[in-house]
Amino acid sequence: MRVVFMGPPGAGKGTQAQLVSTALGVPHISTGDLFRANVGGGTALGIEAKRYMDAGEYVPDSVTNEMVRDRIANADCAAGFLLDGYPRTVEQVAELDAMLAESGQQIDRVVELTVVTDEVVGRLLLRAQTSGRSDDTEEVIRRRLEVYAEQTAPLTAVYRDRGLLVQVDGMGEIDEVSARVLAALR
Ligand code: AMP
């Protein structure tokens, strides 16, 4: 099973993606986590990515696409994966299609976690107190929400047209939401 997870910052996407990937028995691939690991490790990719992340902007497609290409070529992805935070731009959608087509694969399902925007900012500010993430300040959070609305929200229409999109209410307790996601995937 090849699944894409979408949802605005603060939708609980990372938490749900982790739980659902475990339940499905496929690796959880978070581009945000991959970037943060590179930032932490001080790699050239991390140094490049950090400039964008700290401003709430997207890391350029050229960097992001190659990182994902490498990751999904890994043997653990042969039977499927759950992508969390990728694709985020229309160009990334095309690139992912091309990567998968090389091995005769395609995306099976796209889950969009929906939330009430006002609550999302509150959730993120709460997370900011403990996350230690340098992009969890109010100003950067607002920019991340704008960038999501401009560049990523339009992807739902693309996947809806392909009949792949399932929208899941992301409000509520963590286990309620993951039960909804798993029900939608079955
Ligand atoms: P996340 O943990 O998914 O919120 O991602 C944190 C940050 O990493 C984002 O605000 C972007 O700067 C960067 N990032 C993650 N995924 C992507 C992507 N698919 N394309 C571009 N930038 C990304």
Please give the distance, rounded to the nearest whole angstrom, from the Cα atom of residue 68 to the centre of ligand 1: 12
The confidence score (pLDDT) of residue 69 equals 96
- Stated pTM of the model: 0.93
Weakly modelled stretches of the chain, pLDDT under 70: none
Domain coordinates of the chain in residue numbers?
Answer: 2-30+77-185
Nearest CA to ligand 1 atom 4: 32
Torsion over CA of 154, 15, 50 and 147, rounded to 10 degrees?
Answer: 20
Which of 34, 51, 58, 86 is the best mutation target for the ligand 1 pocket, counting ligand atoms within 8 Å of the beta carbon and taking the most?
58
Q: Is 160 a catalytic residue?
A: no
- CA–CA dist 29, 17 (Å, integer): 9
CATH topology of domain 2-30+77-185: Rossmann fold (3.40.50)
DSSP string, the chain: -EEEEE--TTSSHHHHHHHHHHHHTS-EEEHHHHHHHHHHHT-HHHHHHHHHHHHTPPPPHHHHHHHHHHHHTSGGGTT-EEEES---SHHHHHHHHHHHHTTT----EEEEEE--HHHHHHHHHHHHHHH--TT-SHHHHHHHHHHIIIIITTHHHHHHHTT-EEEEE--S-HHHHHHHHHHHH-
Q: Is 144 a catalytic residue?
A: yes
The confidence score (pLDDT) of residue 119 equals 81
- CA–CA dist 65, 62 (Å, integer): 6
The confidence score (pLDDT) of residue 184 equals 95
Which residues neighbour 12 within 8 Å (Cβ) at sequence distance 6 or greater?
Answer: 113, 115, 123, 170, 174, 177
Angle among Cα 97, 51, 56 to the nearest 5 degrees reads 70
